Amino acid sequence: MAFIIRRFYSSVMEKTVMISKSTDVFENLALEHWFYRHSDFTNKSMLLLWVNSNCVVIGRHQNPWLEVNFDSAINVRIARRNSGGGTVFHDNENLNMTFFTNREIYNRKKNLELIVETLKSEWNVVTEINKREDIVIDNMYKISGTASKLGRPNAYHHCTLLVNCNRELMSNLLKKREKNIETNATVSVTSDVLNLTQINNKVCINRLMTAVGLQYLKTVGNKTTTDQGFNYVTPNEQTFPGFNEIKNEMKSWEWRYGRTPKFNITVKCNEQSVILSVKSGIIENVVTTCNIKLSNLVNEKFNMNIVEKIKRRLETIK
């Protein structure tokens, strides 16, 4: 017997703004995913605002060793999100926004237009939405990147706003360098960026949260809207049953590194080379042009320290 599930839509849309009290990237990504999994957005939509301490967040289908310049002297967390797209740097001067809706009314262009309108009305900062659906200034400098997760029945669009982030640290971590990696993973597109404070030094995170949130609540679509206001939330297991399981998965090596698409990396020195084949973050094969034994690396978890050790081995070959 076949069953038909019908979703019943009301003429009233409930809207709310949630602000996370956490600055932990794994907690905020887990909270975002919890809402996506467990909320019913049939007749409501929600804007989640969140800020992280220093971290790099890669897209679902990316390679962290290609995207991030690992440096033991820099204390920064690496996270992988559930949506696609490119790599971004977060710190406490970067605002993250997640717009949750039912898949049938998903409209990220509308969300971006809301942000553009807010920046113009509050601070007279003129921005545009480019073909990639980034928010840019002078059609050149990026202040916001965007990505989405489209499921059934829920969907979300999330984006960033660079308020006054540490651009030097961002550049050190994300500047493209030749790493001799061959992969089909999604590769980030390099962009020139600006902070909003470089355009208007009165822009600040707290006021931006308020301004974007109020603009979101007053924006009316095709339905009558009921305003549920602003709500602060602390991500935890007690409030959100199943939260810890999601957070632990987000923090795990298997999710952050083991989900990396298969790749080959070539290590070169003194006209010699070593090729490592890596699948699910694990070295599965080693090919070398010289007479050094590296078979012990097979089945090891890949990391950039292994590359440096191979280079030192190759330097000893005359």
Distance of CA 50 to the CA centre of its chain: 12
60-102 pLDDT, tens digit each:
999 999 999 988 778 899 999 999 999 999 999 999 999 999 9
Name, in order, each residue with C-beta under 8 angstroms of 52's C-beta and a sequence gap of 6 or more: 23, 24, 25, 28, 90, 91, 92, 94, 96
Q: How far apart are the first and last CA of the chain?
A: 75
Q: What is the DSSP-derived secondary structure letter of residue 260?
A: P
In a domain, 1, yes or no: no
Whether 242 and 285 share a structural domain = no
Same domain, 237 and 287: no
DSSP for residue 61: T
Q: Across the chain, what does the average pLDDT equal?
A: 92
9: in domain: no
What's the CATH code of the domain at 111?
3.30.930.10
Please, are residues 269 and 307 in contact by the beta-carbon 8 Å criterion?
Answer: no
Does 169 lie in the same domain as 287? no
What domain range is 289 assigned to? 263-316
**Given the structure tokens 């000893």, which residue do they identify?**
316
Q: How far apart are CA 76 and CA 259, in angstroms?
A: 20
The C-alpha atoms of residue 247 and residue 316 are separated, in whole angstroms, by 44
Residues 54 and 139 in one domain: yes
**What one-character DSSP code corresponds to residue 234?**
-
Tell me, yes or no, whether 23 and 166 share the same domain. yes
Same domain, 131 and 190: yes
Number of domains composing the chain = 2
Burial class of 258 by CB neighbour count within 10 A (0 to 12, 13 to 18, 19+): middle
The pLDDT tens digits for 18-42 are 999 999 999 999 999 999 999 999 9
Residue partners of 143: CB distance under 8 A and separation at least 6? 127, 135, 136, 137, 161, 162, 193, 194, 195, 196
Find the mean pLDDT for residues 185-212. Answer: 96
Are 184 and 108 in contact, with CB atoms under 8 Å apart? Answer: no
Residue 1 scores a pLDDT above 50: no
Instruction: For residue 144, tell me if it sits in a domain.
Output: yes
Q: What is the pTM of this model?
A: 0.92
Q: What is the pLDDT of residues 288-318, one digit of tens each?
A: 988 888 989 999 999 999 999 999 998 887 6
